[in-house]
Amino acid sequence: MSEGVFPSLRGGRLLLTAFLALLLLLFLGRWGVVLYVDLLWFTAEGVADVFWTRALWEWGARVLVGVLTALVTWANLRVVARSFQGLQVRRRFGDLVIQEQLPASYVAWVGILVSAFVGFWFAALIPQGTGIRAMLVAHAEPWGTTDPILGRDLGFYVFVLPLIQEFVGFGLLLLVLIAAMCTAGYAATGAIGWTNGRPALSFLPTRHFGVLAGTFLVLVGLRFYLVPFGLLIEGNSGVQGIFGYADHNARIPGYRMIAFLCLATAAAVFWGARRGRLLPAGVGGIALAVAALGLGQVYPALVQRFQVQPNELDRETPYIQYALAFTRRGFALDGMVRDRLDYAPADASAWAQALDRLTRLPVWTDATLLTTFRQLEARFQYYDFHEVALDHYVSAEGVEPVAVSVREVNPLGIPDPNWQNLHLRERYITGMGAVAGHLNRQSEEGRLPMFLTAIPPEFRAGPEVPDQLRLTRPSVFIGSRPQLYSVINATEASFLGPDGAQGIAGVDYPNGIRVGSIMRTTALAWRFQDPNLLLAAEVGSESRLVIRRQAQERVTALAPFLLFPEAPYPVLEDGRVVWILEGFTASVSLPLSSAHQLPGGRRVNYLRNSVKATVDAVTGETRLYIVDPSDPLI
């Protein structure tokens, strides 16, 4: 009988193991190629150290959380496994029914696998950017300014507090999950059940659940201890939700008392668990719930009703002043000063100065110019102008107001959108320079006088024409709108330099990712879910794959801790198009500062335009410039 049964069981196990291994390989393979292609891109951009730093912190945080979670889960399941000792399992072989003891190795391996799964799940649950925030905490320096209520350095609120709150939440979730698994395990062995309509627990689960409940209360106490810090960020005052009198004089003392009661109750629960008693946990839980309701809800409401509302202006004025001062600080408005303007009639020189400025004001709107450029300068349906930038350039006659718009490729306008046209052919993957015109003048036909026009861009020289508008490398590989990846095969007939010779990577077109070996090609094809990268004859070892072809996408990939909420604007410099982006440091954790909602829904109460970024439209070279070194988030 054993010869017929055990080989089939062994074969089924092997088949199941192979299937699970294949699923794991596909999942890890997909994750691996994404990581590998990112490494190739960062290396091609010359910033591989940025990739490794981010990977170390991001995946280090995930691995640390996963390992700790798995160890804690395994330690608890190992305790549950004690109740499986002596457990017998019934098995039927034909008409024969036998009972055999459940092997301890089976129980141990199930516990290890479940713990590993929980650890893997929690590691995957960590929000993107947690590792970056941990890195900022590790390198953060004190701001040198404390809040006037709790006396904490402002850096604690911005860097440390969000991370602690996040991990306390993860700890509570883990304890609930472990308690559920332990309940199922003890119920399976009969260690817990019902007797005369009441739950009955043996000594082992009583002690175990007591430890879990005490640990849960410690984390709840820590969470209540952190609530006062959160009140300074998000208050409950009737004055536009700022931190107010009732928060300061009722909620903060109340939450601190609740935190102390949580720790006291946890101590009682641990004491009861040591003796196998659940009564302290029940009594402590009820007392804690009553105290939390009274101190956290009832008492603050009474203070608001009987102390604040009868004299609200007097009670809330100091906190309104705090809110104004810290909001100004958060949005870099604290340097503004009031100044008195004494009126005096303007003299002739003042009018002459004003007239000179008025003559340089634009007479065209960007919306009108965008329509004009699309109708007259696009020329082909696969070209489009995304927006018009109004700027100033220096000519021989002085500073000239100039309208500039970049001619980019619109993939939706490609007449035959096959794979080669979308990803390979130069005319369909590169924009063609820009157009520029005089903003405060009009031609005889009533049109905008053009400085830069036609395809390829034609520079119209003149004393009033800024020489900076001359384009020698008009190709636009990196634009302001999302673009598909492109494959560059530099030859003597395509992707040329200004002198007509074969172009040079990093000068006449982006470095891109060199396709190279078949392994790298396979990884790229898997990453972009495109078999053409592997099968197309046009893709060879010398081909270069250009990804992240939107300026905003590139700077966000390189500096994920910065916000770039606005579209890039173009500047013509050194014979090429350069995109400029405004980078902001931002936080929603500055205490006593009122929050503002940005386009896209993100709320911030700290925002500084501390960084400028430039992206070369030809090569994709990206540079970041700090313009406000005093910003503590830089």
Residues 519/486, Cβ–Cβ less than 8 Å: no
pLDDT recorded at residue 503? 82
Residues 589, 160: contact at Cβ < 8 Å? no
Looking at the structure, tell me whether residues 446 and 499 fall in a common domain. Answer: yes
Identity of the residue numbered 464: E
Distance CA 207, CA 97 (A): 36
Residues 44 and 181 in one domain: yes
199 cis-preceded (ω within 30 degrees of 0): no
Contact by Cβ (8 Å): 247, 235: yes
Do 303 and 410 sit in the same domain of this protein? Answer: no
Task: Report the SS3 class of residue 450.
Answer: strand
Q: What angle in degrees, to the nearest 10, is found between the helix axes of 130-139 and 48-81?
A: 110
In a domain, 135, yes or no: yes
* Residue found under tokens 């395509």: 494
Same domain, 529 and 571: no
Residue range(s) defining the domain that contains residue 617? 553-626
Q: Find, among 348, 350, 371, 366, the residue nearest to 403 by Cα.
A: 366
Judgement on whether residues 596 and 490 belong to the same structural domain of the protein:
no
At 320, the amino acid letter reads I
Q: Per the domain annotation, does 1 fall within a domain?
A: no
Whether residue 257 sits in one domain with residue 233 = yes
Which segments of 159-284 are extended strands (E)? 192-195, 198-201
Domain boundary among 548, 578, 608: 548
Final residue before a domain boundary, out of 250, 283, 313: 313
pLDDT at 312: 86
- Tell me what pLDDT residue 157 has: 95
Q: What domain count does the chain have?
A: 3
C-alpha–C-alpha distance, residues 389 and 373, integer Å: 12
| pLDDT in the model for residue 557 | 93
What is d(CA 278, CA 124) in angstroms, rounded to the nearest whole number?
Answer: 35
pLDDT at 1: 43
Give the residue ranges of the chain where pLDDT is below 70.
1-14, 16-17, 19-20, 24, 27, 84-104, 191-201, 276, 278, 280, 492-493
Residue located via tokens 């609930």: 176
List, in order, residues 6 or more apart from 188 with CB less than 8 Å away: none
Q: Is residue 196 a part of any domain in this protein?
A: yes
The Cα 230–Cα 296 span in angstroms is 14
Q: Do 152 and 301 share a domain, yes or no? A: yes
Q: Rounded to whole angstroms, how far apart are CA atoms 294 and 258?
A: 10
What DSSP state is assigned to residue 509? Answer: B
Residue type, 485: Y
**Share of the chain residues as helix, strand and coil, in percent rounded to the nearest 5:** 50, 20, 30
Residue 536 lies in a domain: yes
Beta strands at 192-195 and 198-201: parallel, antiparallel or unpaired:
antiparallel
Tens-place pLDDT, residues 26-77: 767 778 889 999 999 999 999 999 999 999 999 999 999 999 999 999 999 8
Contact 272, 627 (CB under 8 A): no
Same domain for 501 and 611: no
Q: What is the pLDDT of residues 15-28, one digit of tens each?
A: 766 766 777 677 67
Report pLDDT for 5.
Answer: 46
pTM: 0.84
Length of the chain counted residue by residue? 634
What token pair was written down for 51?
A: 């990739």
| Domain endpoint, select from 488, 522, 548 | 548
Q: Do 614 and 623 contact (CB within 8 A), yes or no?
A: yes
Residue 164 maps to a domain: yes
Compute and round to an integer the Cα radius of gyration of the chain.
Answer: 34
